[in-house]
Amino acid sequence: MKQRDLISSVESALGQLRLDRRSFLKITGVAGGGFVIASVCPTALAAVSAASEDADEALVVTSELNAFIKVSSDGKITIYSANAEMGQGIKTALPMIIAEELGARWEDVEVLQSPVDESRFGRQGAGGSTTIPRTWNQMRRMGASAREMFISAGALVMEVSREELKTADSKVTHGSGRYMTFGQLATLAAKQEVPDPDTLTFKDREDYTIIGTSISGVDNLAITTGLALFGIDTRVPDMLYAAYHKCPAIGGRVNGANLDEIRTMPGVVDAFLVKGNGNVRELLDGVAIVGTTTYAVFNAKKNLEVDWDESQASKDSWTEIVSRARSLAGSRGPDEVVDKGDVEKVFADPDNTTLEAFYEYPFVAHLCMEPMNCTAHYRQGRAGEKDTLELWVPSQSPTRIHAAARSMFGLKPDQITLHQMRLGGSFGRRTSSEYICEAIEISKRVNAPVKLTWTREDDIHHDFFRVGGFQSVKGAVNSEGRLIAFEDHFIGMQTGGRAVSGSRFRATEFPIENIDNAYASKTMFDISTPCGPWRAPGSNTSAFVSQSFLAEMAHAAGRDYLEFLLEIVGEPRWFQEGNIRSLNTGRAADVIRLAAEKAGWGREMPNGSGLGLAFYFCHAAHIAEVAEVSVDADKKLTVHKVTVAVDVGPIINMSGALSQVEGAVIDGLSTMMAQKITMENGRIEQSNFHDYQVLRIPDSPRVDIHFIQSDFSPTGLGEPALPPLAPAVGNAIFAATGHRVRKMPLSEEGYTI
């Protein structure tokens, strides 16, 4: 149909309308364009739509309600997800919150990754299971604000009071049954005054139709069909490919390499030395190889011969660290952290039973399925123009690159364009920027867009590891079997006088806070090995120690651990009054009891089988787990089932929540079973899956999950289900065999799976 015929049809449709003065003013007064008629007169919309079926120009108009929501006249609702998606499900969960408050029908929603622009969307980083609690009210405000704008538009068109209208199923509906769709009202709604956030009200939980349901991840189809674009899938015109080789001992400086030979290899465009700034989180010395394919640069990298200066490089030795730590068993550290009551007096009382133990846990790698990668295009400005940088980054915190780009390359944020890519796993790994800085430097040197990809060996050798550590603990129970004293000597790691990530002693956490007599001290070893956040930082190891040792104390007292643990938890209270990020002992007791009940705690178990219980609070989540295991005469361990009880407030996406808990349990078991990073002379000794093994599908346990959907604000779930796994399994092994697990990984104790 020609445009003139379309106009004729529109005129005909309008001619059939009988507009009174008020309707005419509605149209002419709010018109941002001729198509606003569709928002006021649905009959005209139908006539126009029929007339324009084959039109050269579509009559679909998209209106922006706020930074997160756009609605088209055809009824499509676009909701932006602004934070990094790395498998934790927030690209689905956050739009669900918006859609719920908006009153949308989920089938009408299309979710898109937002541009990186914190002035519009707020903080766009993700990590620490903080995204849901941090954005919960923000997402509700976005949805509720747009809802009120639709209601205002509906009241104007239907000539009724706002109080007589509500939104549901992507419609504004009157009590009489009359309604108008979001699509019909979109243009007019966008013209309404944005409501004051303080005047907004939110839905009651019993009225939810989207939140709490199970919704498949918005990218699941694309992922399963290979169409999802992760960082490693980036393609841009005229792109080259790069590999980067760094000294095996962290901090080594490059003197030279066989560059002439490398440049002659098939597919290699260039090879050159890079002098870094010495910052392990930005740019270390190395050799860059640039070529026409990833295979070409990886193949050339295998043939590198590099002269390294290791005079200032790491000399870390795991063997030496272990020896030093074990020599401190039973002692106190030089730095006192907690001193309350009189533990010495309690330990000296012959009527009390005193127990000591030494726990050890290793460094571990992140082992993301997608190795580190980044695509960078550094454009050097012509005379009088600024340099610009375009980045395609799989990063948890994309805007963190601004600081490094300024210090290293003199670039300001307005010179940088960031594209947030989906992450193939992170678990805290992609909070640093070194792989991004490497890509920028290489792109600048070759004056072309470059995709840098790390090999699996690079990824393991140059990780920011979960830090290893040791704890020497001591406790006492009285003649009644009550825990009355607890002492902990934490032996951790530091760099430059500061504790590395995950090596901070949480002395005020459970159980010390609930015990009258407690003493805690620490000893810190200096290391050069880079460490960083790893799923549930700190908690993933402190839970192993505290919950294993408390179970030891319960056994020494001749008491059931469930009863013993609930006694320590005590009466319901907040550790920090009313603080949602604080332990609530009432919520703790509820999940402990629920996990025990669902697992059949106390039932008779066959020989060689046992149940183990553990509780931990971290990342604002209260979680208890019971592991059911069996161990044969050859120490082959089978974890049959893990029962999990969770209180993180109301669940946003039940499907995503189940996946997060299952994933955390399996990840925890995989790590506990066989994963360990060691270093000698500063060199990481593991390199790939053959010597850093992961749990296989047939060995995964059944995971039985139960949620307590309390009325507290929702909190994150990507991390907190992992810490209780290790002590639950360790306690179950003791119940099955009488052997107490005080060391990870279990393979070091002779166990197989």
Domain topology for 318-365+465-749: Aldehyde Oxidoreductase; domain 4 (3.30.365)
pLDDT at 612: 98
User: Does residue 8 carry a pLDDT above 50?
Assistant: no
Report strand pairing: 517-526 vs 483-495.
parallel
Residues 6+ apart with CB under 8 A from 176: none
Cβ neighbours, 10 Å, residue 198 = 6
Q: What is the pLDDT of residues 663-698, one digit of tens each?
A: 999 999 999 999 999 999 999 999 999 999 999 999
The hierarchical CATH code for the domain 60-201 is: 3.30.365.10
CATH architecture group of domain 241-313: Alpha-Beta Complex (3.90)
* Same fold? 60-201, 373-453: yes
pLDDT at 514: 83
For residue 102, report the phi and psi dihedrals to the nearest 5 degrees: -70, -35
Confidence bin at 42 (pLDDT 50/70/90)? very low
- Closest by CA to 113, choosing from 366, 373, 370, 398, is 398
Report strand pairing: 109-113 vs 77-81.
parallel
Class of CATH domain 373-453: alpha beta
Cis peptide before 745 (omega within 30 of 0): yes
Query: CA-CA distances (angstroms) from residue 41 to 15, 37, 180?
Result: 12, 6, 10
Confidence bin at 575 (pLDDT 50/70/90)? confident
The H-assigned helical ranges of 208-253 are 220-224
Domain ranges, ordered by start, for the chain: 60-201, 241-313, 318-365+465-749, 373-453
Q: Beta partners for 613?
A: 626
pLDDT at 504: 78
Please give the single-letter amino acid code of residue 165.
L
The H-assigned helical ranges of 515-560 are 539-556
**Chain-centroid distance, C-alpha 648:** 15
pTM: 0.91
- How many helices and strands in the chain, by DSSP H and E? 21, 28
Q: What is the pLDDT of residues 281-305, one digit of tens each?
A: 999 999 999 999 999 999 999 999 9
* Mean pLDDT for all residues in the chain: 91
Q: Which of 220-234, 550-564, 594-608 has the lowest mean pLDDT?
A: 220-234
Radius of gyration of the chain (CA): 30
User: Does residue 199 carry a pLDDT above 50?
Assistant: yes
Residues 6+ apart with CB under 8 A from 380: 387, 444, 447
The H-assigned helical ranges of 118-194 are 118-121, 131-158, 182-190
Strand ordering across the sheet containing 62-66: 62-66, 69-72, 77-81, 109-113
Q: What is the pLDDT of residues 431-486, one digit of tens each?
A: 999 999 999 999 999 999 999 999 999 999 999 999 999 999 999 999 999 999 99
pLDDT at 7: 41
- Closest by CA to 322, choosing from 493, 155, 475, is 493
Q: Please, what is the Cα angle at 68 between 63 and 69, to 5 degrees?
A: 35
User: Does residue 50 carry a pLDDT above 60?
Assistant: no
The H-assigned helical ranges of 16-110 are 21-30, 37-40, 42-51, 90-102
Q: What is the pLDDT of residues 352-391, one digit of tens each?
A: 999 999 999 999 999 999 999 999 999 999 888 999 999 9
Q: How far apart are CA 510 and CA 582, in angstroms?
A: 11
Q: What is the pLDDT of residues 231-284, one digit of tens each?
A: 999 999 999 999 999 999 999 999 999 999 999 999 999 999 999 999 999 999
